[in-house]
């Protein structure tokens, strides 16, 4: 067996083992050090390849056929395990050739240690269906999660996510471990920017003829909105194209304001079609509170929502997933996707106008950006500089910028400074 590996794979192996242990996962789920290095090296090298002009993107899971055959079949979304008649030796070349058959959002390539020769072999394809994304992006979980085995996601060249089942452990981009970043969804400043939208939705629900003794928890709207955007970001990152999402004010004439700052490829007529998210969240809350009342719940929480099995709730949840895909599709067009803060879709493919020049930006050093460091704006790409210019000219705008390499920045005018947060979920 060839045990020579790059220094990178050695460092990646050390990081995997250290993070795995720190997270409290079963050490028996990891192979020996030489085999772990071999696996990580093959996956990393595959990430640098292309197949018929397309970058390699797939998920690889370490586990035996017996493990997956023994999993219980629950509901209609059980894993479908397809075994190769003859396992093939693991290599970057084989991953490249098989990646298209194991679509990133639906399947995994399965790897195990051959009991006869001790070598790593690709032995099959495991179809998970697309609902595994729900668990990663914080929405309702499927009833059958992946087992807590080592999973490596290939998102792009040198861009890997190492996970235990569906739970992310760490991420690399361009061969560099992502350490510098935050999850702004967990901040205090971001939800505050959407407070008026939340209050408006509460008024809509209070005036609805639907009444229930059960209430929805105060963070539910926030969690629902964030799950949609997390999913859209995840979709854009894996497409390798990049994109931009901007939130403008939530006033009724938002589209008039947008027309002064954007030149749209597509500018939507404002009607109920553009208010899809508001319709869905109102329907979802009404249904959940009805179920909550029937179950004797005073308050329906996000955890309750994840556990409730109801056909109508599932239909609405599926519609939320589809809405996230629509947003990602719009973001994939060159230019910005523009929403107001109630998630009303204004338009997409928008060129940012204005001639304001931003020379200095500030990188947040903590979640609330109480401490920042100044950086030259010109060190960033065109998409980022456009976002800085927009936020400088419209201080209430929030922009999310996704680079082609999958890096994400939240940009906002914070404490009278154009500030960005590297996104690290």
Distance, CA of 72 to CA of 44 (rounded, Å) = 32
Instruction: Look up residue 140 and give its two tokens.
Output: 């309702």
pLDDT at 133: 54
> For residue 150, what are its two tokens?
């080592």
Q: Taking a C-beta distance cutoff of 8 angstroms, is the pair 293, 211 a contact?
A: no
Q: Say what the pLDDT of residue 140 is.
A: 56
Q: Which residues of the chain have pLDDT under 70?
A: 1-7, 70-78, 130-145, 179-180, 250-253
Per-residue confidence (pLDDT) for residue 370, from 0 to 100? 93
């Amino acid at each position: 067996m060839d045990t020579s590996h790059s220094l990178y794979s050695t460092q990646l192996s050390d990081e995997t083992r250290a993070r795995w242990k720190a997270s409290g996962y079963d050490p028996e789920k990891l192979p020996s050090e030489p085999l772990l290095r071999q696996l990580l090296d093959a996956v990393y090298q595959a990430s640098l390849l292309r197949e018929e002009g397309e970058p390699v993107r797939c998920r690889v899971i370490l586990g035996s056929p017996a493990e997956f055959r023994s999993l219980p079949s629950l509901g209609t979304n059980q894993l479908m395990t397809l075994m190769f008649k003859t396992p093939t030796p693991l290599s970057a070349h084989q991953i490249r050739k098989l990646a298209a058959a194991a679509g990133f959002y639906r399947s995994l390539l399965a790897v195990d240690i051959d009991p006869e020769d001790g070598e790593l072999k690709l032995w099959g394809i495991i179809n998970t269906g697309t609902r595994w994304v729900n668990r990663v992006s914080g929405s309702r979980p499927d009833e059958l999660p992946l087992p807590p085995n080592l999973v490596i996601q290939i998102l792009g060249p040198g861009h890997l996510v190492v996970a235990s089942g569906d739970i992310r452990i760490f991420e690399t981009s361009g061969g560099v471990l992502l350490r510098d970043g935050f999850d702004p969804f967990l901040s205090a400043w971001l939800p505050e920017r959407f407070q008026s939208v939340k209050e408006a939705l509460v008024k809509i629900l209070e005036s609805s003829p639907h009444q229930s003794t059960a209430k929805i928890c105060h963070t539910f709207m926030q969690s629902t909105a964030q799950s949609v955007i997390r999913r859209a970001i995840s979709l854009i990152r894996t497409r390798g194209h990049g994109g931009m999402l901007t939130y403008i004010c939530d006033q009724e004439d938002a589209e008039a304001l947008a027309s002064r700052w954007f030149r749209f490829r597509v500018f939507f007529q404002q009607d109920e079609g553009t208010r899809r998210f508001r319709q869905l969240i109102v329907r979802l809350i009404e249904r959940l509170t009805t179920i909550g009342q029937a179950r004797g719940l005073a308050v329906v929480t996000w955890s309750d929502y994840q556990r409730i099995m109801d056909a109508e709730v599932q239909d609405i949840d599926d519609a939320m997933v589809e809405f996230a895909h629509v947003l990602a599709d719009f973001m994939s067009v060159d230019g910005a996707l523009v929403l107001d803060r109630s998630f009303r879709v204004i338009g997409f493919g928008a060129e940012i106008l204005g001639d304001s020049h931003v020379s200095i930006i500030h990188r947040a050093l903590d979640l609330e950006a109480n401490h920042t460091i100044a950086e030259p704006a010109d060190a960033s790409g065109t998409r980022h500089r456009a976002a800085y210019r927009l936020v400088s000219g419209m201080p209430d705008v929030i922009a999310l910028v996704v680079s082609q390499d999958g890096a994400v920045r939240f940009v906002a005018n914070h404490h009278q400074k154009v500030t960005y947060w590297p996104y690290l979920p």
